[in-house]
Amino acid sequence: MPPRSLQYYGTDVTPVGYGGWLPTSPAVTDDFIEKHIRLAADKMRRGADYSLNPCVEEFQKAIKNDPVMLDLFGQMILQAKTLGSKIDSFDQLIFMIDNIVTSPPGFHTTATEDPQPVGVPLYVVLDLLSNTSAGYDLFRKPEFNTAMKALLDCWGRYLTTPDSIRTLTNTEVGWFCQAGLDLLQSEGRGVFNDTYVCPDPNAVNRGYTSWDAFFTRDVQPHARPITGPPQNFVVTNACESKVFRIAYDVQAHDLFWLKFQKYSLYDMLNRDELYERFVGGTVYQAFLGPQDYHHWHAPVDGVVKKVVLVPGTYYATLPDDGAPVNDPELEHHDPRGALIRSQPWLAMNATRMLIYIQADDPNIDLMCFIAVGMVEVSTCEKKVKEGDRVQRGDKLGLFHFGGSTHTLIFQQKAGVKFKTYDDNDQEVDVEVGMHLRVNQMVGYAAGGAQ
């Protein structure tokens, strides 16, 4: 039986999908990977006439100089073949990575498919590789994550350059093509120019000077008002995101039904003794797609008590048997997307920022916001420090590039009830799969509401 009152991603609830992390069409995913295999083959044929990007070359050296990691790469590639992977060798993969980290994310189209976003392209290439036992071992190794961090930092620097606006166009591979605008404006996000701060609203690229400037765009003040009653016991949405899971009565070392994922407060909070205050409490988890607004806002009024950056993994996931039977995007047992299905585990293992807030409401008391950097989205940038006073809606920090997940952790005494308002201004339950705006009410401490 599933533990206690847990809502979980599995066969008894409707899965939430992949939120733009994977193209909705497997044919587009396959064609994207095949394109990069062809580009890699062309570079490899040029031999000494082609030089890898220096950061990619350093990553390659780090792997080849470590016999254990190189062996795990070989095993991982072989194991992924049974899942349908078309990647044949480590060297081929290196040249594919070279293609990706010298370009900005964009859209991909085929002769028979409309343009679809590939917002986290390196993840798309590594997706099947990660869903293997060798990938699980490799991607958790500190040595691998040190090398990967250096590579991602290099890519991140490129994404702050003027060259990175190449996909901020209205062509079929650009974010401002009709398909791109439809995605950026979907699920109640609002008309782009009316919602976000655009340096030049009349320009095709809206005046953004880099991919990073586009990705970390701010919202206009009127576009994301704080909703719900003004009382301190109200909790607002910290990130624009899709609800993934709500768990009650969470223990220090708990167990999730899906793939028996341990959901451990002790590990989520990086073994900080403060974990004891949250035993028996509530965890709310929601994830952001590449098309979402990526700043974090304070969910409660209070004072920042502690900010902790926890280094972690980038592409590690829990291997599984594929998509569940009622997956809204993938066929049953499709092996893609395991990382998205592993979000509770990632909350304990991926790079993350912990921000503890001493809430003004005595029932909420101390709560914790966790920003989890998934895959390419490894940069968690804080905007607050210990002792800062915050009001609901104030900025706490932001993610750079890609997609990510976050959690809110409450103590048991808060008795949080997860409620929001629909388009008719009626109070409704917050449910798994809902896409909620930042600053939108997501619940309240029941004790304070009495």
* Phi and psi angles of residue 434, each rounded to the nearest 5 degrees, phi first: -70, 140
Please check whether residue 76 is in contact with residue 59, taking contact to mean a CB–CB distance below 8 angstroms: no
Question: What pLDDT does residue 13 have?
Answer: 37
Which region among 3-7, 338-342, 410-414 has the lowest average model confidence (pLDDT)? 3-7
Percent of the chain with pLDDT over 70: 92
Residue 132 buriedness (CB in 10 A; 0-12 / 13-18 / 19+) = buried
Q: Which residues, at least 6 apart from 260, have a Cβ–Cβ distance to it below 8 Å?
A: none
CA dist., res. 21 & res. 340, Å (int) = 8
- pLDDT tens digits, residue range 278-290? 999 999 999 998 8
Q: Where are the alpha helices (DSSP H) in 131-184?
A: 133-139, 142-158, 178-184
Residue 71 in this model has a pLDDT that exceeds 80: yes
- Over residues 116-139, the pLDDT tens digits come to 888 889 999 999 999 999 999 999
Label residue 207 exposed, middle or buried (CB < 10 Å: 0-12, 13-18, 19+): middle
Distance set, CA 334 to CA 26, 28, 165, 327 (Å): 10, 15, 34, 10
**Domain ranges (residues) in the chain:** 234-449
The pLDDT value given to residue 394: 98
Q: What is the dihedral of CA 326, 329, 333, 334, to 10 degrees?
A: 180
Round to whole Å and give the CA distance between 258 and 261.
6
Name the pLDDT band for 323 (thresholds 50, 70, 90): confident
Cβ–Cβ under 8 Å, residues 398 and 428: no
**How many residues make up the chain in this entry?**
450
| Cβ–Cβ < 8 Å for 33, 124 | yes
The answer to whether the beta carbons of residues 103 and 96 sit under 8 Å apart is: no
304 vs 21 pLDDT, higher one: 304
pLDDT at residue 344, rounded to an integer: 81
The CA distance from 108 to 133, in Å, is 30
Percent of the chain whose pLDDT exceeds 90: 70
Per the structure block, which two tokens stand in for 269?
A: 């909070």
Split at pLDDT 50, 70, 90, the class of 400 is confident
Q: How far is CA 307 from CA 97, 270, 383, in A?
A: 33, 12, 10
pLDDT at 237: 98
- Would you state the structure tokens that stand for residue 327, as one six-digit string? 């997956």
Tell me if 238 sits within 8 A of 292, measured CB to CB: no
Is the confidence at residue 7, as pLDDT, over 50?
Answer: no
Which pairing describes strands 379-382 and 295-297: parallel, antiparallel, or unpaired?
A: unpaired
Element (H, E) at 381: strand 379-382
Q: Name residue 296's beta-bridge partners.
A: 397
| Coil/strand/helix, residue 108 | strand
Does 110 score more than 80 pLDDT? yes
Whole-angstrom distance, CA of residue 201 vs CA of residue 196:
10
pLDDT at residue 333 greater than cutoff 50: yes
Average pLDDT over residues 299-312: 96
- Rounded to the nearest 10°, the torsion over CA 399, 401, 402, 406 is -10
Buried b / exposed e over 29-46, threshold 16 CB at 10 Å, is: bebbbeebbeebeebeee
SS3 call for 180? helix
- pLDDT tops 50 at residue 252: yes
